[in-house]
Structure 1
Amino acid sequence: MSTDIIGCFSPLDELIQLIYQSIYQFVVMSSVTYDKWTVHVGMVGDAGRWWRGVWEEKNVVGVVGHKPSEKLLEVFVDGLVDSIVGGELYLAGFSTEKDARFKLTFGPVSTRPVSMDLQEIGPAEAAAHATTVFLEIALQAQSRKCRLHSSAFTSTTVPTTSRRSEASHSKTRLEAPEPKVHEVETGDVEDEVKSLRKKESEKQTKRQRSPLQKAQPSAKPPPRRPGKAAALANPNKKARKFQAIDFESDEE
């Protein structure tokens, strides 16, 4: 069973990268169809020029060898993907001359760099390619409510929600005035501070009185000693005084 060589290049589909070389800036776009791998290189600026490189099955075989295994093709394609994503691209022999030919090199500093021949395309074909790219962008934007960038879509929805929330809060405040939270919280704090100060003052007063209470003798009067004739039933009761009575003698 033969290996689908171009089918193994599917990871290279819909990749895009920038190249900064000398004073120029380029856009590199990679796409894969059922029978070929195509790379477009566009020069940014007023010139708006485009170059194109194409690899078919015969071009792949010329690089990796005849009847390559699927595993070999997978490793080869992964290396190309890493070069594009990592920006390891170089335009070898680039010239601004019309119809100039040069090469796009993948992994120029690697042990086995891969090069693709580029050829400039005409204005009509370049415009057709640009239109195709814009069509893909427009189709992808449908899922973002026709926003060009997903970040712009996100940033525009957040303020809307915020404004609705603010309007809802304003309506609530008109229907039922809210208490002044700041004043209530401030009053509670002041009361708590006063209470703490009062407790601290009481503790300090007790601490100051405690040594004095220990040093001073007790002011309680000592218990009264009962008299000799005090009632035995109630020792604390005041004793009665008896006066001796003289009896007359019968002789008188």
Structure 2
Amino acid sequence: MDDVFRALADPTRRSLLDELFKEDGQTLSALEARLPMTRFGVMKHLKLLEEAGLVVARRQGREKRHFLNAVPIQLIYDRWVSKYAAPWAATLSGLKLQLEERTMEKVFEIYIKTTPERLWEAITNKEMRAKYTFGIQLSSDWTPGSRYEALGGGHATSGLAAGSVVVEGENLEVDPPKRLVQSFRALWSDNVKSEGTTRVTWEIEQIADSCRLTVTHDELRENANPELYGGWPMILSGLKTLLETGEMLTTPGSLMYATDPASGA
């Protein structure tokens, strides 16, 4: 977190994050045009933001686009804010970044001290996944072209009936323990049902004794409902906590989706 705080301490770097907040996925040239500094200066600040995990750069054709990564900010929120805040505070502070973004592609990145095999298991194992996705049960045989579906746990505060399908889709690419690409059709509310089918890509890369996990949610409709993708920072924070400590992360947002404690999920 030291790198995150150092990156945020500079007003120029905060301005760059503000620009990506307004319009995600900008190129270096676009960002340079918005700030009163040289191209080299913008590159230097972007590099520091990337090293802190606050910006993720993705090459698309000949262009290199930069995406705001809310996961490090969510981790700070989880550590110092969520345990003291009322449930509604999450939508006013820690999740504000995600709730207001409106672009066609969202990229989230996090480093987890684990092995690729263990991380793959946490993504595909029904019991493990339920521990950081608010009790939602996801089932599949995880073969290319196979179907998957996620079932709600039926807690009174979730608004989801027990066994109701909240997400469904197809496993488009399955390459353990490196890459999983899935179509994603959200069904948990009328608001997200109207968004149609999008795509989620999980990419795992081993870095020394840790793994870099990048989750890309794309094929989103322009001005898509933020409810569709706003929960990823919290989910990835919970995944990191589970694999590194063996504990389940309790956040205000998780109260919305928690399953009945009696179910054991």
Q: TM-score, normalised by structure 2?
A: 0.20
Higher-helix-fraction structure: 1
Q: TM-score, normalised by structure 1?
A: 0.21
Higher-strand-fraction structure: 2
- Higher RCO structure, 1 or 2 (CA under 8 Å, sep 6+): 2
